[in-house]
Structure 1
Amino acid sequence: MRINHNIQALNAYRNLAANQSSISKNLERLSSGLRINRAADDAAGLAISEKMRSQIRGLQMAERNALDAISLIQTAEGALNEVHSILQRMRELAVQAANDTLEPSDRAAIQAEVDQLTKEIDRIADTTQFNQKILFSGSPEGKAFAETRSSAISYVGNGTWQGVVTAKPTNPAEFVLDFSRGFGMLSQDEIDKKTFTINGKVYEIDAKGDGISDTGHIAVNVTWNDNATDDSDAVANINSLLDALKNAILNNDSTFDSTSSVVGASDNNDNNDAIITNGQLRLVTAKPMSPKEANGINVSYDFDPTTEVKSLIVVEEQALVPETFTLTFSDVPKNGDVLKIDNLTIMFSDSMESGYSPSQGQGTATIDVRGKTVFDVLNDIEQVLEAAKADGTHQPVQALTGFSVVGNSLILSTDRTDDGGLFGSSNGLEFQIIDSDFEENKGKSLKLEMQIGANESETLEFELSVMDAASLGLARTADHKTPLSAGVNAQAGIDVSSSAQAASAAITVIDQAINTVSEERGKLGAIQNRLEHTINNLTTANENLTSAESRIRDTDMAMEMAEFTKNNILTQAAQAMLAQSNQLPQGILQLLKS
């Protein structure tokens, strides 16, 4: 018998600890409903379960994708249903116009309706959208490798979008009228009835006190020394006019703020040296103005600008708050595509290595797009912009305040305000996209790819044909005879008014258009039916895979409760045995008593 080591107690304690650990796991599984709460519970099972979860969630999203695809098809098919109705009405009108009981005026009335119906087909093709994706204008006009929603940038033809992005002004403009000594030396006769035209209002000087010449003018009543002989006389005359003109302008034009001020003319110590400090009227606008807005405030006068009065506009070309716009890349640029930002031209190539090349006030860069993703190209663009921004010698991107890349978007900002200059000669941030093969894609079908599976390449591809009036063979120029190529550009409808024979020929053309729309609707209906089967399959696969994942991950509550009950009883028994084993060393006391 031993005192220092109670082996029986240690054995009971070990079993008690193991039972309590088992109970803890039983309680965790029962309370969470999961058999695997951590990787240690079943490492292999966790790995299998997570793969199944990826598939399950992928199947759920694929089912939603398929439902969205059906919604898109239903939207398209609904629009074509109306096109069918329009075509049936046009055929009815053509049959009517082919009857020789009609007079030319009757056919003209029929032609007017046909023209409007043709333009409505174009409108439907141009405006039928699903999630802002235009469905029937083809592959598509207005869709380049990148696009921006900035209203300052627009399509100018030949696959080119361009514009000037500017910030809203945050500083007022200042108009300065500078009066020199020659003005102050003029006589009353020379100054009386002379005018200043500022912001469309005419201010007329009344130096003699006999009134102004035109009732539409605003009087500037001034006290004038008619016999100015030295510098002090000139200074007094100028300052008198400055105060009177300022008051007249502020009283009659709310464009200018009360902070407008007069900087009076002054003379040095020599009154006869014909040298004075010019007087100035500084008119400050009440609201912030860009150079373009300031230039819209015309300032003119009847005086000699070389010796008497000069005018100057002081306006900030930079704003305190920059304007930001986003360029979103939907595809990798192709060989020959171009992106111009300020005076930096970025060319995309599949045969030249990437690099930046500066020149005076300009910059060019080449980005190699071979084997790259959109994100790779955006990273290259960001590096080019960093190099151009750091080029303090040539400064090709002076108007670019900041830039960053977020996802598949390039975010640009500028603090330059609008000076009214056209693209190529403006103060703002000039921007241009050239998609080299954009025009080649006009009129092609819109290709769509639907992700209808949980894994890569599990897709459904289909096309939406161009359904504008030109593609249906119905669009004509204003003469009703010359056909137009693909595009929402119908000027008139097919000829049904020139003769019965022309109307009869139109019936065949309209029949062909009806057949084209019928084929497109039939194709869309078949795809919709296929997608409905796809959804049923996805739902079944999702259900079965969820069941399999549940068997791995979820707790069998009945079995776990039985296990919990067993472990609970064992724990209680182990506690009792631990108490008993703790009493065993007491027997040594009996030996000591003897």
Structure 2
Amino acid sequence: RQAIDNSEMAVSLMQTAEGALEEVSSALIQARQLAVHAGNEGVNDPNMLQADQSEINNILQQINRVATSTQYGHNYLLDGSRAGNGVTTGKNLEFVDATTEAHSSGVGGYDIRIDHAASRANHTGSVALTQGMIDSGEQITVSEGGRIVNFATEKGKTVEQTLNDLSTAINDAGLALDLIRPYPPVTDGNAPQAISFRHKEFGSEHTFQVASNTAGLVSNVANTSVVVTNGTNVAGEINGEESVGKGQILTGAHGSGTAEGIKIRYTGEAAPAGGKAGTVTFSQNSLTFQIGANTDQHAEISLRSIKTNDLGRGENNSSNFKSLSEILVLNADQAQDAIRVIDQAIEEVSASRGAMGAFQKNNLESNLNYLRIAHENSISSESVIRDADMAEEMATFTRNQIMMEASTSMLAQANQNSMTVLKLIG
């Protein structure tokens, strides 16, 4: 019965956390709407942008209040205290997250080795864009993630103006690409410039295609698309154990041992000399529920922090917003980057809600149903045993009563025979 009570309280705790995350999801959607409004540069004035920013600031404060005040009993659920927490030492390292399988490292921490840094898909044309190409009506096609930009140059515009227009077209179409500009900037707007594209995301999952009328401008052959080589994932080890790279995130592999599920972000452009990048000191603080009556019948879940400085981290953006807490929408470029960071935060909260829902349904509620059935069967068995004991006692009682009555009858008959004999003698 106690195991049932434990599971019911665990379900109640998860429902409390889910209710709080639902509020956060709604708040993030509202913040995204404000960022989209702020991106409408053509009609917004500074006062409107400041109003959007003020409302977003209020939303971020609301999210932080939810994160720091959601609790069940004395347990705070969404401030990061009930998750695996880690601190890294070393340049370009950042602790991201961990699963319940990870083991606490102790004071010394786990060594992090980086063999290969993550990279992004990129492509640079071998022929520079010139004024003559622009005036002749150059066609440039760029596609990424199912989105396509067909860009045509306008006669009379400078090289600098044309590249600005191309960059705007890419951003407006929602392609996850940057048009890389030379640094320091070119002072002569008519000077020829090579066109260079780079994907916003790191890793082997991301690529894009380009084509141009002029051979070498972006594609090697005129009017023939070039599929750009994919980026690469970070490669390395955590605590000397097998780890899996995805983009800039290095994760302890399933079944690897102590570091299983620990996620580390390495932002360096190259692997450190000798491979050792630093250490991560990790502490496992996940929630543990005793959901059975016997030893080792428990379940664990890690509830990540939903504070604004822990959401939206690692999303590449030109405004250098490091997390949701830093977003601004005071101009169109900031608004675009804010949308990217908010989208990342929405994905993270949605992932947390999905993990919690799966844990509640598959671990807690299914186990609770089993325990209830087992409890009912136990009560039923006890009743059967009690009924069986009563039947046995009644049978024994009846047998003894019959034997007693038989003995009494025999004794009475014996006495009757004695009296008959005495009468005959007398």
* Bin of the TM-score, shorter chain as denominator length: 0.3 to 0.5
Q: What is the TM-score of this pair, normalised by structure 1?
A: 0.34
Q: What is the TM-score of this pair, normalised by structure 2?
A: 0.46
Higher CA-based Rg: 1
